[in-house]
Amino acid sequence: MKITRKDFLRISGLGLLAVAGRKAVRAVAERTSERASEQTSAPFAKQVRWGMAIDLQKCRQKDGCDRCIKACHSTHNVPQFSDRAHEVKWIWKEPFKNVFPAAQTGYTREFFGNLPVLLVCNHCDDPPCQDVCPVKATWKREDGVVTIDFHRCIGCRYCMAACPYGARSFNWLDPRPAIATVNLDFPTRTKGVVEKCNFCEERLAKGLGPACAESCEEKAIVFGDLEKPDSEVRRLLRSRFAVQRQPELGTGPAVYYIV
Amino acid sequence: MSDRPLILAGLTLFVGLVTTPIWHGALDRKAALTAPPIQLPAQEKQCVAPASYMRSSHMQLLEHWRDEAARDGRRQFVAFNGKIYDKNPTRTCVTQCHTDRKEFCERCHDYAGVSDPDCWNCHNDSQRTSRSAP
Amino acid sequence: MFMFEKALTGGRKYWLWITSLFLLVLAGSLCYVLQLTHGLAVTGLSRDVSWGLYIAQFTFFVGVAASAVMVVLPYYLHDYQQFGRITILGELLAVTAVTMCILFIFVDLGQPTRIVNIVLHPQPKSVMFWDMIALGGYLLMNAAIAVVTLTAQREQVPAPGWIKPVIILSIPWAIGIHTVTAFLYSGLPGRSYWLTAILAPRFLASAFASGPALLILLCLALRKLSGFDAGREAIQKLAVIVTYALAINMFLILAEVFTAFYSEIPAHEEHFEYLFIGLNGDRHLVLWMWLSTLLSGVALALLLVPKWRNNIRLLVVACVCVFVSIWLDKGLGLIVGGMAPSPLGAVTRYVPTLPESAIVLGIWASGALMITVFYKITLSVWEDN
């Protein structure tokens, strides 16, 4: 049998492809089986569902107060960029009329419209960001915290498009130079990944509450277990009228606003 | 065939280029086969795993730590000798033991010819020493 | 490489064209290096408008790729012989367009070195995962079909039988790639401009107008440059396809506009207002969107009248109008208009920066390079016969 040069190249090319394909399949298979075994081992406390209630009236008591914002952003090494386009923020204020566009009439707008509302990630029951992420870099933990693996994020920003609450920020440039003092207990991020409020999961692991709630002198932010009927947050939600942002989207926010 | 010298010359050039690391290593006097002196932690004698394992597989261990801590909430690492560590590279590894990344991490990475670790782009060391300014 | 040597012969003009394309690719690559070192801050993107020209170009070219089905289907399912030659050209256009799409996604990533994570940690719930499978499969299929058919033509033997099922599969698959691409957007809560069931039909209609329009232009260019004639009847048939698709696309857009403005639901109105009237004093897209509308109107008028459509000069004008109009609507307005106003009502201006545009131009140039080489090879094979 005579083998032409073209045939030779074709056969060796196919052979190489087959070897590479086998390697890839094996790598993927290993990864998936590894993850499967890990997931069954030691989950987060299943009985807990972390949530938050923000008392807007208490929050307004001190004009221009930004203690919680400062506390969060310094705890988590959130960079401060002056350019609005490149802004990174985990917790911030936005006028009432933008946050609850449907919950107002022409008359309430006069009074409420420009009042500030504190915003964080809603840590949804059914987060759209989790479903769209192509690499499982963001997911909801058993205890309800929606978190991000900064090592895995490929920076496609699909989660930013999917989040109906604008909770997510992207690192358009290296954040390091824009951090005044670095907190050694929390990593900074690298350029090209998405970040957002993590409900202070690193503090929860140590038995502490979120930094924003702790820093608020008016106790306007109440954090706790939504599954526990006698938790402070549940008691508050029983006694006062509270709303969620855009509940009609079916995302099930875990952040409640007492109005 | 008139192409023969051309083909042979090309082949020689190709083989020469491909084997660059070998003859470069042989010619370079400075390239030594003895491990470089690295700065070992002063107070600790034993790492979270035997040194031979750490030398070859610290990256896999760290990756494993990351996945377990972030995804499963398992933040404690029980070492081979029964000691328990926090899976926290900043606190457990960098602040307590391997304080000098130049003398420990980078020296060995240089020797092994692998690129410098970029852990410190995010995981802070108190000195904030940056080798190549970002 | 496959008959690549045929692309290495050409006149002075051919090499001038190739060189200038290479220079554009080079410029784009240099700008990409700039983006790699400084981050995506070198683009005009922002926290509010987090997707822009890259993703919009991706969407547009998925459409161009899918439109190959408009020549493949008549030729293989209806045995429309006039499309015999143009079909290979269409498939090669699809290969080029999909490659460009992959490049556009790649340059949009913040951490491109981690792209293998999509394979290592696949998430079947993500539409992006399915888009990857759809585009990858389509690329392989079309490449295989084009190579096998062309080889058979060179050897002057019939194409092997196994390629037929692949061709048949590529037809629904083409519809699939653009549907999945539409689902990337239309399944997101809180993005009212995209949250519409007719987004996928709209994508298909605009694709089947812009793609064949581009193919007509390419065929006419080939006739001028190389003397290859796709045939008057084939071109006319394509023109009819463009006419229908354009009309359906305009109808679907009008349906959207009606729903938004007659219902008067603010979240649905706002995006159209932003694009066509201006919102919060930001009117920088208004001119472009009306230009797009105008061009579509002109093109439809030129295409509807048979006498005008059969006039090659007017057909060229119409095809350019269609292509530019849909490029403006889909390659610019669709993504930016969906992102502004943001879920919090912010209207943030997005203007692509110079490096960003250079990267886009570089990818366009690499696309042009690919199509030049592909067509050159194909035409040489046909000439040899």
The domain spans of chain B are: 45-114
Alpha-carbon span C92 to C74, nearest angstrom: 17
pLDDT digits (tens, 9 = 90+) for A125-173: 999 999 999 999 999 999 999 999 999 999 999 999 999 999 999 999 9
In a domain, A77, yes or no: yes
Record: contact A246-C120, CB cut-off 8 A: no
Which whole number is the average pLDDT over C349-373?
96
Task: Name chain C contacts of A163, Cβ cutoff 8 Å.
Answer: 190, 343
Q: Of chain A residues 123-162, which have a CB less than 8 A from chain B?
A: 139, 141-142, 147, 149-151
Task: Name chain A contacts of B71, Cβ cutoff 8 Å.
Answer: 38-39, 139, 149
Q: How far is A257 from chain B (nearest CA, A)?
A: 29
Q: How many CA atoms lie within 13 A of A28 on its CB side?
A: 15
Count: domains in chain C: 1
Task: Name chain A contacts of B124, Cβ cutoff 8 Å.
Answer: 77, 182-184, 187-188
pLDDT digit string (tens) for chain A, length 259 residues: 677 888 888 889 899 989 888 877 777 676 655 554 444 444 566 689 999 999 999 999 988 899 999 999 999 999 999 999 999 999 999 999 899 988 777 777 777 888 899 999 999 999 999 999 999 999 999 999 999 999 999 999 999 999 999 999 999 999 999 998 888 888 899 999 999 999 999 999 889 999 999 999 999 999 999 999 999 999 999 999 999 999 999 999 999 999 8
Are residues A94 and A194 both part of a single domain? Answer: yes
Mutate to test the interface with C, among A83, A86, A117, A135 (most CBs of C within 10 A): A135
CA distances from A54 to A71, A219, A235, A242, C45 (A): 16, 9, 13, 9, 32
Domain CATH for C57: 1.20.1630.10
Given a cut of 90, whether residue C291 has pLDDT beyond it is: yes
Grade residue B118 by pLDDT with cuts at 50, 70 and 90: confident
| Alpha helices (H) along A42-78 | 56-59, 67-75
In a domain, A174, yes or no: yes
pLDDT digits (tens, 9 = 90+) for A33-55: 555 444 444 456 668 999 999 99
Residue-range definition of the domain harbouring residue C206: 4-384
Task: Name chain B contacts of A188, Cβ cutoff 8 Å.
Answer: 121-122, 124
In a domain, A39, yes or no: no
Q: How far is C211 from chain A (nearest CA, A)?
A: 26
Count: domains in chain A: 2
User: Which among C111, C127, C339 is the nearest to A132, CB-wise?
Assistant: C127
In whole numbers, what is the pLDDT of chain C averaged over residues? 94
Q: How far is A42 from chain B (nearest CA, A)?
A: 6
Q: Looking at residue C63, what is its pLDDT? A: 96
Which whole number is the average pLDDT over B63-72?
88
Q: How far is B73 from chain A (nearest CA, A)?
A: 6
Task: Name chain A contacts of C346, Cβ cutoff 8 Å.
Answer: 98
Q: Looking at residue B33, what is its pLDDT? A: 67
pLDDT digits (tens, 9 = 90+) for C188-232: 998 999 999 999 999 999 999 999 999 999 999 999 988 888 889
Q: Looking at residue B100, what is its pLDDT? A: 80
Q: Looking at residue A30, what is its pLDDT? A: 67
Alpha-carbon span B57 to B40, nearest angstrom: 18
Q: What ipTM is given for this predicted complex?
A: 0.92
**DSSP structural state of residue A222:** E
Alpha-carbon span A181 to A259, nearest angstrom: 36
Burial C293-318 (b: 16+ CB within 10 A, else e): bebbeebbebbeeeeebeeeeebbeb
Q: How far is A147 from chain C (nearest CA, A)?
A: 16
Alpha-carbon span C244 to C212, nearest angstrom: 11
Question: Percentage of chain B with pLDDT > 90?
Answer: 15
**DSSP structural state of residue A85:** G
Record: contact A190-B121, CB cut-off 8 A: yes
Alpha-carbon span C194 to C185, nearest angstrom: 6
Burial A207-225 (b: 16+ CB within 10 A, else e): eebbbbbbbbeeebbbbbb
**Which phi and psi (to 5°) does residue A257 adopt?**
-115, 120
Nearest to A133 by CA among C197, C114, C190, C36: C114
Q: Looking at residue C270, what is its pLDDT? A: 93
Chain B residue closest in CA terms to A136: B71
Q: Is B77 helix (H, G, I), strand (E, B) or coil?
A: strand
In a domain, A41, yes or no: no
Beta bridge partners of A119: A92
* The length of chain C, given as a count of residues: 385
Q: 3-state secondary structure string, chain C?
A: CCCHHHHHCCCHHHHHHHHHHHHHHHHHHHHHHHHHHHCHHHCCCCCCCCCCHHHHHHHHHHHHHHCCHHHHHHHHHCCCHHHHHHHHHHHHHHHHHHHHHHHHHHHHCCCHHHCCHHHHCCCCCCHHHHHHHHHHHHHHHHHHHHHHHHHHHHHCCCCCCCHHHHHHHHHHHHHHHHHHHHHHHHCCCCCCCCCCCCHHHHHHHHHHHHHHHHHHHHHHHHHHHHCCCCCHHHHHHHHHHHHHHHHHHHHHHHHHHHHHHHHCCHHHHHHHHHHHCCECCECCCHHHHHHHHHHHHHHHHHHHCHHHHCCHHHHHHHHHHHHHHHHHHHHHHHHHHHHCCCCCCCCCCCCCCHHHHHHHHHHHHHHHHHHHHHHHHHHHHHHHC
In a domain, A127, yes or no: yes
User: Which among C109, C344, C348 is the nearest to A156, CB-wise?
Assistant: C109
Is A192 within 8 Å of chain B by CB?
no
Look at phi and psi of residue C156 and say left if phi exceeds 0, alpha if psi is from -120 to 50, else beta.
Answer: left
CB of A257 closer than 8 Å to CB of A56: yes
pLDDT digits (tens, 9 = 90+) for C306-316: 999 999 999 99
Angle at C376 between CA C373 and CA C380, to 5 degrees: 140
Are residues A64 and A191 both part of a single domain? Answer: yes
Record: contact A161-C339, CB cut-off 8 A: yes
Lowest mean pLDDT among C1-15, C231-245, C287-301: C1-15
Q: Looking at residue C48, what is its pLDDT? A: 95
User: Which among C50, C109, C129 is the nearest to A154, CB-wise?
Assistant: C109
Are residues A159 and A217 both part of a single domain? Answer: yes
Alpha-carbon span A225 to A50, nearest angstrom: 5
Given a cut of 60, whether residue B130 has pLDDT beyond it is: no
Are residues A230 and A165 both part of a single domain? Answer: yes
Record: contact B73-A150, CB cut-off 8 A: no
pLDDT digits (tens, 9 = 90+) for C119-174: 999 999 999 999 999 999 999 999 999 999 999 998 889 989 999 999 999 999 99
* Token digits of residue C200: 């996928």
For residue B1, the tally of other CB atoms under 10 A from its CB is 6
Is B72 within 8 Å of chain A by CB?
yes
Q: Which chains touch C (3 or more CB pairs under 8 A)?
A: A
Are residues A81 and A160 both part of a single domain? Answer: yes
CB of A188 closer than 8 Å to CB of C215: no
Amino acid at residue number B81 = N
The residues, any chain, with a CB within 8 Å of residue C201's CB and separated by 6 or more, are: C252
Q: Looking at residue B115, what is its pLDDT? A: 84
CB of A208 closer than 8 Å to CB of A180: no
Grade residue C47 by pLDDT with cuts at 50, 70 and 90: very high
pLDDT digits (tens, 9 = 90+) for B9-56: 999 999 999 998 888 777 776 666 677 777 788 778 888 888 889 988
Alpha-carbon span C236 to C312, nearest angstrom: 9
Is A44 within 8 Å of chain B by CB?
yes
Grade residue C90 by pLDDT with cuts at 50, 70 and 90: very high
Q: Which chains touch A (3 or more CB pairs under 8 A)?
A: B, C
Record: contact C45-A158, CB cut-off 8 A: no
For residue A192, the tally of other CB atoms under 10 A from its CB is 24
Give the best-scoring range by mean pLDDT among C2-11, C74-83, C364-373: C364-373
Alpha-carbon span B104 to B35, nearest angstrom: 12
Tell me how many residue pairs between chain A and chain C have CB atoms under 8 A apart: 151
Alpha-carbon span C61 to C64, nearest angstrom: 5
Q: How far is A259 from chain C (nearest CA, A)?
A: 19
Mutate to test the interface with B, among A77, A184, A204 (most CBs of B within 10 A): A184
Record: contact B75-A205, CB cut-off 8 A: yes
Domain CATH for A186: 3.30.70.20
Task: Name chain C contacts of A174, Cβ cutoff 8 Å.
Answer: 39
Peptide bond into C341 cis (omega under 30): yes
Alpha-carbon span A175 to A192, nearest angstrom: 10
Chain A residue closest in CA terms to C190: A164
Residue-range definition of the domain harbouring residue A173: 50-258
Q: How far is B118 from chain A (nearest CA, A)?
A: 10
Angle at C30 between CA C25 and CA C32, to 5 degrees: 90
Q: How far is B46 from chain A (nearest CA, A)?
A: 24
